[in-house]
Structure 1
Amino acid sequence: MTHRQKRFAAGRSDRTIRTSVRSALAFLTAFGALAGAALVGAAPASGLPGGTVPGSTTLAPGVTYAQFDVQGAKGVTHAHLLTVDLRNTHVRLGLLYPGAVAARAAVSRMADAQGAVAGINGDFFNISEAQHPGVEVTGSTDGPAIVNGHVLKSSVPDGQRFGPELPPGTTTRDVLGVGVDRRARLDSLALAGSVRTPAGRLPLGGLNQYALPEGSVGAFTSDWGSVSRVRATCGTDTDRAADCSTDTYEVTVRKGRVVATSDTPGKGAIAAGTTVLVGREAGAQRLRKFFKGEPVTVTHRLVSATSRKAYSFALGGYPVLKGGRPLSGLDDTAAAVRTAVGIANGGKRLLLFALDGAPAYRKGLTISEVATTMRSLGSVDAFSLDGGGSTTLVARVPGAATVTVRNHPSGDAERRVPNGIGVFST
């Protein structure tokens, strides 16, 4: 146990969710139809006043923390849960990120830097490039991201993602977000954008993403960071490990005019008001027709599949529970340490769920068990985020200056990640 986790250790027996065998049997009977994991000795959150979990500690108005055991097929694991009530106007959720799309930081560091009272890790991301020696790892996420209403990036092709195989019917465009109406929802966000010149218009295939569709043109802005843009031209739409394209071109646009061109994607910080266009194959051939001084207009936005409400924040992952039903085809064999988010009460209550990575609990849960566990906690919809060594849950007790890591990361130390969900109290 690290020094940062000791302050909650002494009272752990009082805060963990452990009731009598009678209560456990009553719970298991009530939810006997649920396959897979079951909370050990815990009542379902949906059956309690306000949807809280027994033994919860209040971190701030509308924000509680609890921990409890979960019985999975591979054994007992330990869970940490933040419950956030968005009906309380003093609490909000937002995107934790290190200030650039192609950058990573520990969840605790991002939470403290942004003043969050709690948080968890976020989307799956470009963590290695063993198949492409010499290509710089971007650390960028698979899915879309929105911070404070501002679009940071769009999603990579499904075949390029670094996360596990997606359940049937899901894509890298899937997001969990909170709208300007303060309601959380699951959605799908697709990029709509274009590059226009006096000679014509071409569609935009990507925005600040580590992998572009074959034959497309992608835009990189100051939100990207300083990491090399070469990775965007590697792999194919169906094979992440495929070779990098040999047909590439880059155009730099500043204040609406072409100011520079290059045969290869570059690196380095992109100034505000500047957009770098990167093309591969057919996209590169189109960009080669651009010339210095030519006027260029680049537009981009993310289009929702289900909602007319703008998002204050959103991040990628994939759904595991919709309308109270686990998605079909969820894996029920591979167990691991997991992070997930549940939505209840019409999008007004969220459950931020992270498993413990201590050796005694490291076998974790399958994705199918995550779905049934989130349902037993009262979630109607649920969304899986990055797990394994990335799974991290942090929280700050009232009066403390910084957050502490509440679970044991399975890598024995916090992994630097590209984003997360922050809980903020005003």
Structure 2
Amino acid sequence: MGPNRWGNAGLLGALMLRVCLSAQAQPADVELRIDGNPVPPGGAVVVDGRLLIADTFAEEMLGFTREPGDSSGSLKWFGHQWQFRAGQTTGVVDGQTVQMDVAPQLLGGKLYCPAGVLLQPLGAAVERLDDGAYRLRLPRAMVTSVRQGLHEQSVRIVIDLSGPAAFSRRAAPGRFTLRVPLPDTPEGRCTLLSQHSFADALVPTVTESRADGWAEIAINHSSPRPPSVFTLAGPERIVVDFARPAPVSPPQTPAPPTPTPPPSGQTTNGVQWRACNFGTEHGPVTGWLLQVDPGDEAITVGPAAAGATIDTRRTVKSIAAAAGAYAAVNGGYFASTGQPLGMLLINGEWIASPRHQRAVLGFCADRTVQVRNVAFDGWVEFEGLGRLPLEGVNTHQEGADGVVVYTPRWGASLSGNARKTRVVVRNNVVTAVVGPPEAAPIPADGYVVSGLDKRATSLLRVQVGQGVKLLLDTSPKWPGLLHAVGGGPRLLAGGAVAINTYDERFRPDITCSVRPRTAAGVDARGRLLLLVIDSTNRGMTLGGLATVMQKLGAVDALNLDGGGSSSFVVDGTMMNTSSDGFARTVSDAIIIRDARRSAKAR
């Protein structure tokens, strides 16, 4: 019998499923094996020849977050979200309704979900072997760092990954262990034993070991309850929250202090800031608002990068201090490497190109601030050879047969690649053609054009000394654009909520979650509004954020990076409380300079 597959294998681990097949609709027991080792029964069943995986197994062995209901369940995994109901052949995956060949089954308090629908968004694959066994291949990733965040009611451990990966969890008194499958690379095959020590006694140490293709993260703790575990995407990370013990009440409760109103202040009529309180269904949250008049000639506002190259990350406070800014908030999305995941334009210099048709905050030469949804439009033309469309600027080449331009913001060079040809350009003239698989230097006063596959073959026709024309633009065109920072989704357009108006292609962890948020908007008078929603009571939904921006007077608005990235800095002080427990390093920030007042040195 040939293999029956769902999804892509990629760099994957193997989970063996040996089943007793049944031609009837009654569920058949399934024996599960991971790398040849049996796991506790009850993880999967077969109905009409279709494999169904229990939501509890997905949680404990694959890294899913589970929110069970009476006869339904919601599952989350690195930005993806599934909703199933027992007995119904329709479900919802990443916000889209899907039709399933077999309905989920509620058995013994567990919701068994169709394996194909559950695993396909993971990039996982299932195949049935000739001996009747099933092999499940799972995504792997490297553990890049382990860090701790401190909160009033919990201690957070964050495990940063190089990408999404299936992982298992095991709880024991005083110890919580995660196992992450590693890629079959030289780094993944290396052995490692290290210990991370932290100041908070609730979670004093985390031991990280690597052996036999697995990373094991053992967390020692004294929390009175099992931890809460969930995953986040962009960048991918596993978050483990350990609750602090409840404080012992004193014999006499002192009278509560008189409430102090939130701080607020202003520098001039051009820059004002204040704290705001908003009610949500999750409880009250605090917001921090900057109101900026871009028409004030003493004010300079726009994005600032964390460093000279896009692999740099710094805190918003540090970026503001380096630029001599009075105030700042975090900017656009970024990868764990620091690479901006959206448009970034500073003083007319293209640092990163737009993605899809996502919302962008633009600062124009006439001192107006605008919010638009734009795509990338660029091309390169070699004298006598014609014009090639560009996929982007300073981004990983993802599309087949694509062409990308790399500037010194990427770094000093591009590593060699057997599928790519690189053309080095200085002063609009080709100075070198570097064929595969050689590395190519990026000149400090030029750029490199990189072609993949068929485009690599096309670029081999280019000769040293040929003239080059390069166009980098947005679609539709944006006249007078001087600075820009990408974000999304769009919150408001012309005063109306516009969250679902544009094809921005965000994952559910951005669109559907409750989290700290950062937003930017423009009111009817052309003033820039920058709002950060604190991590109090988890934060706010996108819909709630759009409503708040409306109430603050915004006509056009967009969402920016949020979660632990949300940062509000005024005069050298970070005002909000980060959900990470400490200030996260980011790739860029929106800064405000006021010539009438310099920032404090801190």
Q: Distance in 2 between matches of 1:305 and 1:87?
A: 25
Q: Distance in 1 between matches of 2:275 and 2:413?
A: 38
Structure 2 residue aligned with 1:21: none
2:257 is equivalent to residue 257 of structure 1: no
2:317 is equivalent to residue 108 of structure 1: yes
Post-superposition offset of 1:392 = 0.7
Structure 1 residue aligned with 2:575: 406
Q: 1:247 aligns with which of 419, 423, 428?
A: 419
Q: Distance in 1 between matches of 2:343 and 2:420?
A: 24
Q: Distance in 1 between matches of 2:368 and 2:533?
A: 25
CA contact (8 A) 1:258 1:296 kept: no
Q: 2:514 aligns with which of 332, 335, 339?
A: 335
**Matching of residues 12-161 of structure 1 within 5 Å:** 14-16=260-262, 56-97=264-305, 98-127=307-336, 137=337, 139-156=338-355, 158=356
**Matching of residues 201-240 of structure 1 within 5 Å:** 201-226=387-412
CA contact (8 A) 2:393 2:404 kept: yes
Q: Distance in 1 between matches of 2:491 and 2:335?
A: 22
CA contact (8 A) 1:194 1:204 kept: yes
Q: Distance in 1 between matches of 2:278 and 2:386?
A: 58
Please state whether the residue corresponding to 1:108 is helix, strand or coil.
helix
CA contact (8 A) 2:295 2:368 kept: no
Q: Distance in 2 between matches of 1:69 and 1:306?
A: 38
Change (3 A) 1:77 1:267: farther
Structure 1 residue aligned with 2:589: 420
Structure 1 residue aligned with 2:552: 377
Can you give the 5+ residue segments of structure 1 that lack an aligned partner in the other structure?
3-11, 17-54, 128-136, 159-170, 231-244, 397-402
Q: Distance in 1 between matches of 2:468 and 2:545?
A: 45
TM-score (ref. length: structure 1): 0.70
**Matching of residues 171-186 of structure 1 within 5 Å:** 171-172=357-358, 174-186=359-371
Q: Distance in 2 between matches of 1:88 and 1:72?
A: 35
CA contact (8 A) 2:424 2:443 kept: no
Quick one: which amino acid aligns to residue 352 of structure 2?
A: K
Post-superposition offset of 1:208 = 1.8
Partner deviation per Cα, 1:52-86 (whole Å, 9 max, x = no partner) = xxx74113441111112221222222111111122
CA contact (8 A) 1:154 1:191 kept: no
Q: Distance in 1 between matches of 2:498 and 2:573?
A: 34
Quick one: which amino acid aligns to residue 420 of structure 1?
A: A
Post-superposition offset of 1:333 = 4.4
Structure 1 residue aligned with 2:529: 351
Q: Distance in 1 between matches of 2:302 and 2:381?
A: 30
Change (3 A) 1:314 1:260: same
Change (3 A) 1:382 1:298: same
CA RMSD of aligned residues (A): 2.7
Change (3 A) 1:208 1:199: same
Q: Greater share of strand residues, 1 or 2?
A: 2
Q: Distance in 1 between matches of 2:432 and 2:440?
A: 16
Post-superposition offset of 1:226 = 4.1
Q: Distance in 2 between matches of 1:410 and 1:64?
A: 25
2:295 is equivalent to residue 295 of structure 1: no
Quick one: which amino acid aligns to residue 63 of structure 1?
A: V
Change (3 A) 1:73 1:227: farther
Q: Distance in 1 between matches of 2:303 and 2:452?
A: 31
Post-superposition offset of 1:198 = 2.6
Partner deviation per Cα, 1:93-119 (whole Å, 9 max, x = no partner) = 111112333422211111111111101
Q: Distance in 1 between matches of 2:292 and 2:325?
A: 13
**Matching of residues 377-396 of structure 1 within 5 Å:** 377-396=552-571
Which segment is superposed worse, 203-212 or 362-371?
203-212
Partner deviation per Cα, 1:349-394 (whole Å, 9 max, x = no partner) = 111111223xxx1511111111001101111111100001111111
Please state whether the residue corresponding to 2:546 is helix, strand or coil.
helix
CA contact (8 A) 1:258 1:290 kept: no
Q: Distance in 2 between matches of 1:375 and 1:121?
A: 21
Partner deviation per Cα, 1:311-353 (whole Å, 9 max, x = no partner) = 221110121111111115398742111110121024x211111
Q: Distance in 1 between matches of 2:561 and 2:440?
A: 27
Identity of aligned residues (%): 27
Structure 1 residue aligned with 2:484: 314
Partner deviation per Cα, 1:8-47 (whole Å, 9 max, x = no partner) = xxxx96552xxxxxxxxxxxxxxxxxxxxxxxxxxxxxxx
Q: Distance in 2 between matches of 1:336 and 1:353?
A: 14
Query: Matched residue pairs, number?
Result: 328
CA contact (8 A) 2:518 2:562 kept: yes
Post-superposition offset of 1:275 = 1.7
Post-superposition offset of 1:296 = 4.1
Please state whether the residue corresponding to 1:176 is helix, strand or coil.
strand
CA contact (8 A) 1:73 1:365 kept: no
Which segment is superposed worse, 275-284 or 249-258?
249-258
Please state whether the residue corresponding to 1:352 is helix, strand or coil.
strand
Q: Distance in 1 between matches of 2:333 and 2:552?
A: 24
Partner deviation per Cα, 1:109-144 (whole Å, 9 max, x = no partner) = 1111111110111111122xxxxxxxxx3x211222
Quick one: which amino acid aligns to residue 125 of structure 1?
A: F
Q: Greater share of helix residues, 1 or 2?
A: 1
Q: Distance in 2 between matches of 1:15 and 1:307?
A: 42
Can you give the 5+ residue segments of structure 2 that lack an aligned partner in the other structure?
1-148, 151-257, 502-507, 596-602
Please state whether the residue corresponding to 2:554 is helix, strand or coil.
coil
**Matching of residues 356-367 of structure 1 within 5 Å:** 356-357=534-535, 361-367=536-542
Partner deviation per Cα, 1:287-332 (whole Å, 9 max, x = no partner) = 23334x2414141222352643x12211101211111111153987
* Rg larger for: 2
Which gives a bigger RCO, structure 1 or 2 (Cα 8 Å, sep 6+)? 1
TM-score (ref. length: structure 2): 0.51
Please state whether the residue corresponding to 2:317 is helix, strand or coil.
helix
CA contact (8 A) 2:361 2:558 kept: yes
Post-superposition offset of 1:211 = 4.2
Post-superposition offset of 1:212 = 4.6
Change (3 A) 1:73 1:329: farther
Quick one: which amino acid aligns to residue 492 of structure 2?
A: L
Q: 1:279 aligns with which of 451, 455, 467?
A: 451
Post-superposition offset of 1:266 = 4.1
Quick one: which amino acid aligns to residue 286 of structure 2?
A: H
